[in-house]
Amino acid sequence: DGDANLSKGMKQAIKTKTPFTNTMRTLFFQRLHKSVGLLAKQHPTLAIAQTFIKEKYRTKFLQEFPHARFILITSYNLIREKRLTQRPDMPLDIKYARSMVENFDAPLLPHTEITNNTDGDEEILKQLQKIGIIE
């Protein structure tokens, strides 16, 4: 979970419903790259769950980890918002969650898209099998 790399400042921004600054994002992604690099030395295959809101951070990640595959997971707005507000460890305010969507750069890098509009793992697992991520 990439959110394990959130700084105290970022966690505070979430609590106070303050947008992340570019400096915060840059430092976060530096921490994420370091964590992924350490994990990659121990594990030949990794899955990183992280919202790459800006294309420049996706590009930098791909430059450092050229074998990375990006998967854009989409869901209906109401479902996504409900999930974000009900997260046990950092629930988001609806307005804050919507501001994230407004700041999201549509991906230009090659990626696969799957949907997550149902509760439970079954549908996601089927889609991951279909695209060859899992057996």
**DSSP code per residue over the chain:** -GGGG--HHHHHHHHHTPPPPHHHHHHHHHHHHHHHHHHHHH-SS--------SHHHHHHHHHHSTT--EEEEE--HHHHHHHHHT-SSS---HHHHHHHHHHPPPP-S-EEEEE--SSSSHHHHHHHHHTTS--
Confidence of residue 73 (pLDDT cuts 50, 70, 90): very high
Average pLDDT over residues 19-32: 91
HSE-up of residue 28 (Cα within 13 Å, Cβ side): 24
Confidence of residue 44 (pLDDT cuts 50, 70, 90): confident
- 40 dihedral zone (left: phi>0; alpha: psi -120 to 50; beta): alpha
Q: What is the pLDDT of residue 135?
A: 84
Confidence of residue 14 (pLDDT cuts 50, 70, 90): confident
58 by Cβ neighbours in 10 Å (0-12 / 13-18 / 19+) ranks as buried
Q: What is the pLDDT of residue 27?
A: 92
Which has the closest alpha carbon to 99: 22, 26, 19?
A: 19
What rounded mean pLDDT belongs to the chain? Answer: 91
38 by Cβ neighbours in 10 Å (0-12 / 13-18 / 19+) ranks as exposed
